[in-house]
Amino acid sequence: MKTVTICGSMRFERDMQKIAFILETRYDMSVLQCVYTGGRRPSDADISALERAHFQKIAISDAVYVVDIGGYIGDQASKEIDYAKSMGKEIIYHSRFGL
């Protein structure tokens, strides 16, 4: 079983939740998800803490799964991809995965 961290813009929050379910139930992946805000705006301190936690999730994962719907990858997701690449992690793009 491969452990993946899901990465993508929070504009895809609901999509990421659905995708994580499919990856775990149909593709033998254990998904470390980002913390979903439910539309609430987190404080700057919250954002900083969440970023640190998310990068730690990437560090312990085998790969990152990038939710790039419509080809969109935001600034934060780009940083996460660069970090994952620097650690030799596999990068899986949703647009190429075939879900």
Q: What is the pLDDT of residues 18-64, one digit of tens each?
A: 999 999 999 999 999 876 666 778 788 988 888 999 999 999 999 99
Residue 39 burial (10 A CB sphere; 0-12, 13-18, 19+):
exposed
What are the structure tokens assigned to 82, written together?
A: 């660069």
Best CATH choice for the domain 2-97 from the list 3.20.20.70, 3.90.1150.10, 3.40.50.450, 3.40.920.10: 3.40.50.450
Return the pLDDT at 55: 95
Higher pLDDT, 38 or 17: 17
Return the pLDDT at 36: 65
Residue type, 61: S
φ/ψ (deg, to 5) at 98:
95, 20
Structural domain spans, the chain? 2-97
